[in-house]
Chain A
């Protein structure tokens, strides 16, 4: 009798579990979305959950360990000036959907902020390398640092993805400056435009200290502002790469003088020492040194200047000819790159801790991003944790389905 009862109960729970596990039901089950008014009511009445995942402290300079795991809001105006090209595409889409830019404060970023606050600008620039598995948040940590430096009025030299300069380049011109090297007019001009958006106010202040000749008819005099160099690069696309080279050289030279502080932020720095997919007309491959942009960037990343800091990120996602499971600096940079960057401070970016994971889920729920009825329950959260293993990138992709 009892066994019959328990068997039936077991079968009932089995049936309910089977229904739970039915893949069509779990992953893509559509919930009729609540009406907008009801949603707003919910948000108004549940003000307190925002305290779990968001903080009001919007100035990165004041972020401390107690803010770890919490999201802070970036004003959209700041985002337009500071990050014209810097945000990862998925994050940009999320920003557009939620109509706000919220970034999580995490330990690696906090560590870097601490170092940056205590830098001695008389010493040569220290190199910090963010490394970690795919999707752990290296690029977004870099963006956090850049926002901090922008707030502190540093000059930001941000290359969003160095891999874009070593692959898929349509036109390669022979450089006018040095016959052995190649120019990339398109990439250089795009970058100059974004650089101008970020650092408007510095462009008029900094004066170049040397005369540069573009071609027979045009040259630029000593003492004119950097803004003119940038303009020349944007308007004359042929000279864009040389303009970039001049900008980098001048900034390096002048940051030691102490007028401004320079932050060099490069994402995907392992592109500088890898291989390229570009070929000459006779189909022979081009080494990265032969690209003018890469050559100048390498000089920038050397620590023979002072008055700023260099923050670098390794990235396997866009890298060329590197195996998928390579994530350590030695593997991704290769011997040449490692020697060039040595010494540097490595900072590992790891998956979410349980607290950070919880905070991320809360943030999604507040923005009504998770529509699945199971997502609110403990079991649902455990499932998500298991399936993503705390990896921020994977979690974001998973939640996109729910």
Chain B
């Protein structure tokens, strides 16, 4: 009954006999969503992998526009007879030179118009210059992308000079010029300003946090005070015996000319003496934003009071003694 197997003995055939219905072809798993939803195991997996469900339209993968993925290429620029379409094809950079030619043509038109008006006596001296604040010229890469051809640095500079000359001659071609400018967002608008709170006695104060290296600080700045600062419940003169740290604390107040006008209570932990001072300085500067005009906030940002210092301790690398220091080099 049990045919003996050469290698593993009698057990094999018995297993085969006992399970006659085992098919040796792999089982085909049919992807039927309706079936699977009723089965508990797959149901949990689906809930984990697709939290919005399988059929949510907004959870479908979003794909980029093909123009963003595939770079712009130039179409064939000559016809069947081999004759190029554009009149400036043989310059090599046809779109660039045609753009320069158009712009110069516009300058000449404006001058002609101005001469005509002057001849008629209707020329008015009103200077409507276009507002350039908040926008910048295209950078070279953006211009190259727009014209779909390579430019050199001198070409780019020539282009910018021509555009500025166009601006000087008059405000006639505003849309044309604006198409070559991109807006620059004013950074300070991104600075979140803490709201001013009031505590039990009606004193106005504001809280904020600051970090430096591995020190974290939280400062509470009161609007009306006499310049007392308490760090972790201790007077700042005793907590920071070193002059340098107290100068750091003084910086935000001195910058805004508010040296004796605010009271500060802060807590700080972690880091060393310098890091704690830097963290408190950042926290105090952020808290002061709420008592100060927007212009002064912008000045503080430009002074670097509101940026957290990204410098952190660099890791030690293997094969070197420190982060940068190498082992002593021995010739032999």
Option from B235, B246, B255, B260 in Cβ contact (under 8 Å) with A21: B255
**Are A382 and B251 neighbours in the complex by a CB distance under 8 Å?**
no
- CB-CB under 8 A from B254, the residues of chain A are 21, 383, 386
Chain B, Cβ-Cβ closest to A401? B243
Main secondary structure of the interface of A (DSSP, over half): helix
For residue B302, CB closer than 8 A to chain A, the reply is yes
For residue A389, CB closer than 8 A to chain B, the reply is yes
For residue B250, CB closer than 8 A to chain A, the reply is yes
A10-B299, A383-B254, A387-B246 known; A3 vs B259 contact (CB < 8 Å): no
**Are A387 and B227 neighbours in the complex by a CB distance under 8 Å?**
no
Option from A3, A386, A394 in Cβ contact (under 8 Å) with B250: A386
Q: How far is the CA of A319 from the CA of B236 in the complex (A)?
A: 23
Q: How far is the CA of A394 from the CA of B247 in the complex (A)?
A: 13
Q: How far is the CA of A23 from the CA of B133 in the complex (A)?
A: 34
Most chain B C-beta atoms within 10 Å of own C-beta, residue among A10, A14, A324, A382: A382
**Are B299 and A387 neighbours in the complex by a CB distance under 8 Å?**
no
Q: How far is the CA of A133 from the CA of B241 in the complex (A)?
A: 12
Option from A10, A133, A379, A388 in Cβ contact (under 8 Å) with B257: A379
Interface flags for A131-175 (1: CB within 8 Å of B; 0: not) read 001000000000000000000000000000000000000000000
A10-B298, A385-B260, A387-B250 known; A17 vs B255 contact (CB < 8 Å): yes
Interface residues of A in 40-70 (CB under 8 A from B): none
For residue A37, CB closer than 8 A to chain B, the reply is no
How far, in Å, is A22 (CB) from chain B's closest CB? 12
Option from B133, B243, B260, B302 in Cβ contact (under 8 Å) with A398: B243
Interface residues of A in 8-30 (CB under 8 A from B): 10-11, 13-14, 17-18, 21, 23
**Are B260 and A386 neighbours in the complex by a CB distance under 8 Å?**
yes
**Are A23 and B237 neighbours in the complex by a CB distance under 8 Å?**
no
For residue B303, CB closer than 8 A to chain A, the reply is yes
For residue A6, CB closer than 8 A to chain B, the reply is yes
Chain A, Cβ-Cβ closest to B227? A386
For residue B6, CB closer than 8 A to chain A, the reply is no
- CB-CB under 8 A from B250, the residues of chain A are 383, 386-387
**Are A14 and B247 neighbours in the complex by a CB distance under 8 Å?**
no
**Are A389 and B236 neighbours in the complex by a CB distance under 8 Å?**
yes
For residue B238, CB closer than 8 A to chain A, the reply is yes
- CB-CB under 8 A from A385, the residues of chain B are 227, 259-260
**Are B238 and A386 neighbours in the complex by a CB distance under 8 Å?**
no
Q: How far is the CA of A307 from the CA of B14 in the complex (A)?
A: 119
Interface residues of B in 231-256 (CB under 8 A from A): 234-238, 241, 243, 246-247, 250-251, 253-255
For residue A4, CB closer than 8 A to chain B, the reply is yes
- CB-CB under 8 A from B236, the residues of chain A are 389
**Are B259 and A382 neighbours in the complex by a CB distance under 8 Å?**
yes
Interface flags for B298-322 (1: CB within 8 Å of A; 0: not) read 1100110000000000000000000
Interface flags for B260-281 (1: CB within 8 Å of A; 0: not) read 1000000000000000000000
Chain A, Cβ-Cβ closest to B250? A386
**Are A14 and B295 neighbours in the complex by a CB distance under 8 Å?**
no
Q: How far is the CA of A23 from the CA of B247 in the complex (A)?
A: 9
Chain B, Cβ-Cβ closest to A133? B238
**Are A394 and B299 neighbours in the complex by a CB distance under 8 Å?**
no
**Are A382 and B260 neighbours in the complex by a CB distance under 8 Å?**
yes
How far, in Å, is A271 (CB) from chain B's closest CB? 22
**Are B259 and A379 neighbours in the complex by a CB distance under 8 Å?**
yes
**Are B247 and A389 neighbours in the complex by a CB distance under 8 Å?**
no
Option from B133, B234, B257, B299 in Cβ contact (under 8 Å) with A325: B234
A4-B133, A391-B237 known; A383 vs B259 contact (CB < 8 Å): yes
Q: How far is the CA of A383 from the CA of B298 in the complex (A)?
A: 23
Interface residues of A in 175-211 (CB under 8 A from B): none
- CB-CB under 8 A from B235, the residues of chain A are 389
Chain A, Cβ-Cβ closest to B296? A10
Interface residues of B in 92-112 (CB under 8 A from A): none
**Are B295 and A10 neighbours in the complex by a CB distance under 8 Å?**
yes
Chain B, Cβ-Cβ closest to A134? B238
Q: How far is the CA of A391 from the CA of B235 in the complex (A)?
A: 12
Q: How far is the CA of A382 from the CA of B256 in the complex (A)?
A: 13
Q: How far is the CA of A389 from the CA of B228 in the complex (A)?
A: 8
Q: How far is the CA of A287 from the CA of B221 in the complex (A)?
A: 49
How far, in Å, is A314 (CB) from chain B's closest CB? 16
Interface flags for A361-395 (1: CB within 8 Å of B; 0: not) read 00000000000000000010011011111010010
Interface flags for A313-325 (1: CB within 8 Å of B; 0: not) read 0000000000011
Most chain B C-beta atoms within 10 Å of own C-beta, residue among A13, A14, A324, A386: A386
- CB-CB under 8 A from B299, the residues of chain A are 10, 13-14
Option from A3, A6, A325, A387 in Cβ contact (under 8 Å) with B238: A325
- CB-CB under 8 A from A17, the residues of chain B are 255, 303
Q: How far is the CA of A172 from the CA of B234 in the complex (A)?
A: 42
9 CB < 8 A contacts A-B: A3-B133, A4-B133, A10-B295, A14-B299, A325-B234, A325-B238, A379-B257, A382-B259, A394-B237
**B interface residues (Cβ-Cβ under 8 A, vs A):** 133, 227, 234-238, 241, 243, 246-247, 250-251, 253-255, 257, 259-260, 295, 298-299, 302-303
3 residue pairs, one from A and one from B, having the closest CB atoms: A389-B237, A382-B259, A386-B250
12 new A-B pairs (CB below 8 Å) besides A21-B251, A386-B250, A386-B253? A3-B133, A4-B133, A6-B295, A10-B295, A11-B302, A21-B254, A325-B238, A386-B260, A387-B250, A388-B237, A389-B236, A391-B237
